[in-house]
Amino acid sequence: MKKSILSMLAIAALTFSSCSEDDNNDPVDNSGIITSNADIIAGDLHGTIEGNVTLKSNVEYLLTGALLVKDGYTLTIEAGTTVKVEAGRTDTYVAVEQGAKIMAAGTAAKPITFTSNATNPAAGDWGGIVIAGKTQTNKGAAVQSEVAGLTYGMPAGSAIADDNSGVLTYVIAEYTGAKINGDAEFNGFSFYTVGSGTTLENLVVKYGFDDGVEFFGGTVDLKNILCVNIADDMFDFTGGYTGTITNAFGVREAGFSTASKDPRGIEGDSNESDADALPRSTPTFEGVTIMNFSTETELTAGAEIRRGTEATINNIAFIAVGDAMFGNLVDTKDDSGNGSVTFTNAYKMGNVGENKVGGTITGDIVEDANLFNGTAVAAGKGANFSVFAWSGYTIPTVN
């Protein structure tokens, strides 16, 4: 009997030890239903939101798994709120279904911040913010998102161009881009067929392991976005995106060597299977700066516009500082379909490469040795960096 008891205790101890290991690849149980603020556990924030709930600015939150807002409900996040995220997982993210809303209205004085809880945080520590809306995509009527398992896209007759998924203003997302596998990676912000009724203004992504922001179809506009040290593309779109991106500033700092095989400033697709699929990606950019300080990794292209995309870019500055480089300046050639882009007021400085033309590039990109003087980008050329003063980020300086 004594031997039996000791054996049982040994087994129990082994089981406890096994269950107590911090295996970051094990999924957190996200089955908890949140119907009111009373259901929120600040130090273990995760679950399915099936009520109208609010994250408070005076509470410290730790996101430990997926936080999913279901159709018909709203997640409100007060200005000044900080959400720390358990690092090293692939199942820590915020997702908003079609028909649901996120109301994250920060202010310049009180931004909303999502960041890693790691002692030494790094790109890819957690997922990101994923929103699905009810507009069209050329990928189909009901498509599953690359991450978070959301359905996006609508049949042509039922798509809502001005669909409203809520508000994201003065929001910072740091150390995003967790990689699930070679085909599924989170971006800082992922917008799946999000409609023009949604407000996206003053967003910052820092240290992203995949893209800074990506649009998968949709009609939503974005105003004022800063992307710092993004391993893949700073600004990305696909699937028939038709919105306008105004004042986009992207920078890769010296010493930042984390990179995909082909990081770019702008990457634009319409449809990789059928370049003529409708709706076609026809985005407009108004005021863009793409800067590279890193000599460790060149940007494959300042802008790659391909696969049926027809883009308009007004007032853009491509800048490679010192010995940093771009592989290509603008690339419109692709085996799955060429693209076309029209530039007005386009400028370049440094080792930014040459154009790779397969489709159409309209408008000149003018050499300007004074685009960057070591401390600031020339006024009126490219994005207006001053609007990001609220974020506390400053452009690196060089001699």
- Tokens at 274, concatenated: 């059928």
| Residue pair 280/307 in contact by the 8 Å Cβ criterion | no
The amino acid at 88: G
pLDDT confidence of residue 221: 98
Q: What is the DSSP letter of 281?
A: P
Residue 280 three-state SS = coil
- The domain defined by 33-391 carries CATH number 3.10.450: no
The amino acid at 257: S
Per-residue pLDDT band for 399 (boundaries 50, 70, 90) equals: confident
pLDDT confidence of residue 31: 56
Whether the per-residue pLDDT at 2 is higher than 90: the answer is no
pLDDT confidence of residue 19: 35
Minimum mean pLDDT range among 3-17, 116-130, 165-179, 338-352: 3-17
User: CB within 8 A of 389, min separation 6: which ones?
Assistant: 108
Q: How far apart are CA 41 and CA 22, in angstroms?
A: 20
Per-residue pLDDT band for 332 (boundaries 50, 70, 90) equals: very high
Q: What is the DSSP letter of 378?
A: P
Q: How far apart are CA 213 and CA 197, in angstroms?
A: 18
pLDDT confidence of residue 29: 46
Q: Which backbone phi and psi does 6 adopt, to 5 degrees? A: -60, -40
Peptide bond into 279 cis (omega under 30): yes
Please write the tens of the pLDDT for every residue from 174-215.
999 998 876 789 999 999 999 999 999 999 999 999 999 999
Closest by CA position to 197, among listed 171, 223, 161: 161
- Tokens at 299, concatenated: 């940007």
94-to-101, 114, 207 alpha-carbon distances in Å: 12, 10, 18
In the predicted model, what is the mean pLDDT of residues 381-388? 98
Comparing 336 with 19, the larger pLDDT belongs to 336
Whether the per-residue pLDDT at 3 is higher than 50: the answer is no
Whether the per-residue pLDDT at 6 is higher than 80: the answer is no
Whether the per-residue pLDDT at 228 is higher than 90: the answer is yes
Closest by CA position to 271, among listed 232, 300, 301, 237: 237
Q: How far apart are CA 346 and CA 253, in angstroms?
A: 22
Q: Residue 389 belongs to what H/E stretch?
A: none
Region of 149 on the Ramachandran plot (φ > 0 left; ψ -120 to 50 alpha; else beta): left
E strand segments, 61-198: 61-69, 74-77, 82-85, 94-96, 101-105, 112-116, 129-132, 143-144, 151-152, 166-174, 179-181, 184-185, 189-192
Q: How far apart are CA 317 and CA 307, in angstroms?
A: 24
Please write the tens of the pLDDT for every residue from 139-183.
999 999 999 999 999 988 899 999 999 999 999 999 999 988 767
Minimum mean pLDDT range among 20-34, 129-143, 153-167, 360-374: 20-34
User: Which long-range contacts (C-beta less than 8 Å, at least 24 apart) are formed by 56-62?
Assistant: 56/81, 57/81, 57/110, 60/84, 62/86, 62/117
Per-chain mean pLDDT for the chain: 92
359-to-213, 327, 328 alpha-carbon distances in Å: 25, 18, 15
pLDDT confidence of residue 181: 77
Whether the per-residue pLDDT at 367 is higher than 50: the answer is yes
Comparing 21 with 127, the larger pLDDT belongs to 127
Per-residue pLDDT band for 4 (boundaries 50, 70, 90) equals: very low
Closest by CA position to 376, among listed 256, 249, 257: 249
Alpha helices in 133-291 (DSSP H): none
Alpha helices in the chain (DSSP H): 2-20
pLDDT confidence of residue 184: 84
The distance in angstroms from the start CA to the end CA of the chain is: 79
Q: Residue 292 belongs to what H/E stretch?
A: strand 284-292
Please write the tens of the pLDDT for every residue from 280-323.
999 999 999 999 999 999 999 999 999 999 999 999 999 999 99
